[in-house]
Structure 1
Amino acid sequence: MDDVQQLFKRHTYTAKISVAFFYGVLVSIAVNFFWTPGHIYSSGVTGLAQLVNTLTGGLGVLHIGTGLGLFLINIPMFFLAWKQIGKSFTIFTFICVLFASVMIRWIQPIHLTNDPIICAIFGGAVNGFGTGFALKNGISTGGLDIIGIVVRRKTGRSIGTINIAFNSLIVISAGFVYGWPYALYSALGLYVNAKVMDITFTRQQRMQVMVITDRPKTVIDSIQNHMRRGITIVHGAEGAYRHDEKTILFTVITRYEMDALETAMEESDPKAFVSISDTVKVLGHFYEPKW
């Protein structure tokens, strides 16, 4: 049994390292092939590293490239994550940031286009997919991700305002450095990046599920065997057509858990009526798995 657990751990570690490497390749493509030629700034710490690269460009030996800047800016984040989140999380975040920094420096850009709109859209899409894919596989890409996790654990709140303020400064910087049209192009890139990341990383998208069934115990057991979710039971419901007794079950899941829910329902009550709708906001305790 111990051998099987060790093998599973090694497989998990190998998979996460592979994902981190894949992210590093994608972010380097976004930076070197699209953002840099198009004078577009990214969001978060990557955008700050690009800004540092631009501002130190004429300082000779003091020049800090985007790859090196990305790593240096993340160093205090590593210490914060080590103390507040966990060692395993910090190690994989370190590996992810290291791959990104190295790949940005090593992968030589291929000139595709200097059109800022194309560069903003495709750079944002490539980076958004890479970031979302990393998050989906349980790996943080560092930077504001770490601050967001710490703040959410301490206060239960997101850092949406901080993200908006930070990225607004990046966009304004793009305007000062390259001209105000480029601030708008960078804003377009940030929008595309966020949308693609949301499509790829579905764990933060919450959905309300209503199940109408005449086999409530079987359904509850099946759902809770497949995912860690609380369920509210409403007894005494009645079907309007046959006037047979029904039970209504309510729960909230993430879009990431949709496949698990479908499997649970297929196993427990394939004939149950299931309604799923997007949830705008959840107040109170909602379980989120640790990294």
Structure 2
Amino acid sequence: MNQVKFYASMLVGTFIIALSFTLLQSPNQIASGGLTGASLVLSSIFNVPSATILLVTTLLLLVICCYFLGMNTILKSVIGSLLIPFFVYLTSGLHPLTDDPLLASIFGGLGVGVGLGIVFRVGGNTGGFTLIAQILHKIKSVKYSTSIIFMDAIVMIAGGLIFSPEKALYALVGAFVTRKTMEFIQGKNKGSQVAYIISSKVYEKRITESVLNGLDRGLTKITGAGGYTNSERVIMMTVLDQSKVKDLRLVVQEIDPQAFIILCDATEVIGEGFTPSFRSSSSKMLVS
């Protein structure tokens, strides 16, 4: 049943993303980041259909990622990566819903956000810039969020130069709507989460460095032993915002595909980087 839910969500989510791109963003030249936005910019430069560029760049990216990350790491990305260009090609002949760029940016961003939210809720991903971020993290230890924000910014700036500065502003509106919609679908307004990562001692150092440096989160280690094998295990506990849960999954599964990750809701977190303590708040009020 879980497999059926996963594949059904991947199909529905990627189809909504492709439909939003074909009917709203592409005809109105709204390049709101991502590989779809990049394909729109490149399509205008080389006068080649976006669907063709999207498919070629996706295949090229998968080959490159296979070399740097290995086949096992990118298996979950293959489905989403290929479904989007397939659906974009399938829907490319449909008539645009509007020629108003503001409406296209808002509702296009809404559609993409819904699609991404559906995909991310079942632990899937759509490849694209996420794969590039994984490569950069492995080679140069660049944070996932930093890489994606930087690449999205390049796409929007390029869209502003190729199309018009006004279109870049519309793209920014679309990106904002996408993010907020995606967070709502994923339930990211629920607060922080406690993550327990259970792995072997072999991967302890790499997971620790990735969480501390890649995700910029603190980590507490607890030593344990497997109940069946009695082999030594390390339990790493970290508290992180909902928006970083997906990044944590990618980081841990890339290093140790057999690791257990247990996520629990944290109703309140007091300390550095989270809600300040009552004493700290009172002190600040007295000082001011």
Q: Same fold, TM exceeding 0.5? A: yes
Which deviates more from structure 2 when the two are superposed, residues 90-99 or residues 140-149? 90-99
What CA distance in whole angstroms lies between the structure 2 residues aligned with 1:260 and 1:169?
A: 34
1:38 pairs, out of 15, 28, 41, with: 28
Residue 67 of structure 1, CA deviation: 1.9
Pairwise CA RMSD of aligned residues?
3.8
Q: One-letter code of the match for 2:53?
A: G
Q: Deviations over 1:183-211 (max 9, x none)?
A: 111111122222222333468x97277xx
Matching of residue 105 in structure 1 with residue 89 in structure 2: yes
Q: One-letter code of the match for 1:31?
A: F
Q: Could you say which residue in structure 2 is the equivalent of 1:270?
A: none
Residue 276 of structure 1, CA deviation: 4.2
Q: Name the SS for the 1:275 alignment partner.
A: coil
Q: One-letter code of the match for 2:101?
A: P
Q: Could you say which residue in structure 1 is the equivalent of 2:281?
A: none
Which deviates more from structure 2 when the two are superposed, residues 154-163 or residues 138-147? 154-163
Matching of residue 141 in structure 1 with residue 151 in structure 2: no
Q: Deviations over 1:98-141 (max 9, x none)?
A: 21111111124343221111110111111122123212322221
Q: Could you say which residue in structure 1 is the equivalent of 2:268?
A: 275
Query: Do the aligned residues in 1 keep the contact of 2:14 with 2:119 (CA within 8 Å)?
Result: no
Residue 84 of structure 1, CA deviation: 4.8
Which deviates more from structure 2 when the two are superposed, residues 187-196 or residues 158-167? 158-167
2:167 pairs, out of 182, 186, 189, with: 182
Residue 157 of structure 1, CA deviation: 4.4
Q: Could you say which residue in structure 2 is the equivalent of 1:252?
A: 239
What CA distance in whole angstroms lies between the structure 1 residues aligned with 2:180 and 2:4?
A: 29
2:12 pairs, out of 6, 22, 27, with: 22
Aligned pair count?
A: 223
Q: Could you say which residue in structure 1 is the equivalent of 2:61?
A: 77
Q: Could you say which residue in structure 2 is the equivalent of 1:87?
A: 71
Q: One-letter code of the match for 1:66?
A: S
Q: One-letter code of the match for 2:171?
A: S
What CA distance in whole angstroms lies between the structure 1 residues aligned with 2:147 and 2:42?
A: 20
Q: One-letter code of the match for 2:7?
A: I
Q: Name the SS for the 2:268 alignment partner.
A: strand
In 2 relative to 1, CA 185–168 (structure 1 residues): closer, same or farther, beyond 3 Å?
same
Q: Name the SS for the 2:166 alignment partner.
A: helix
Q: Deviations over 1:76-102 (max 9, x none)?
A: 331344345453552332222221111
Residue 73 of structure 1, CA deviation: 1.2
Residue 20 of structure 1, CA deviation: 2.3
1:192 pairs, out of 163, 177, 181, with: 177
Q: One-letter code of the match for 1:30?
A: S
Q: One-letter code of the match for 2:37?
A: G
Percent identity of equivalent pairs: 19
Q: Deviations over 1:33-71 (max 9, x none)?
A: 1112322113121111111222233xxxxx2x2222122
In 2 relative to 1, CA 208–50 (structure 1 residues): closer, same or farther, beyond 3 Å?
closer
Residue 75 of structure 1, CA deviation: 2.4
Greater C-alpha radius of gyration: 1
What CA distance in whole angstroms lies between the structure 2 residues aligned with 1:193 and 1:166?
A: 16
In 2 relative to 1, CA 94–120 (structure 1 residues): closer, same or farther, beyond 3 Å?
same
What CA distance in whole angstroms lies between the structure 2 residues aligned with 1:261 and 1:159?
A: 23
What CA distance in whole angstroms lies between the structure 1 residues aligned with 2:161 and 2:138?
A: 36
Query: Do the aligned residues in 2 keep the contact of 1:207 with 1:279 (CA within 8 Å)?
Result: no
Query: Do the aligned residues in 2 keep the contact of 1:35 with 1:123 (CA within 8 Å)?
Result: yes
In 2 relative to 1, CA 253–44 (structure 1 residues): closer, same or farther, beyond 3 Å?
closer
In 2 relative to 1, CA 253–118 (structure 1 residues): closer, same or farther, beyond 3 Å?
same
Q: Could you say which residue in structure 2 is the equivalent of 1:169?
A: 154
Q: Deviations over 1:133-187 (max 9, x none)?
A: 2123222211210122344456664144433332233222222333221111111
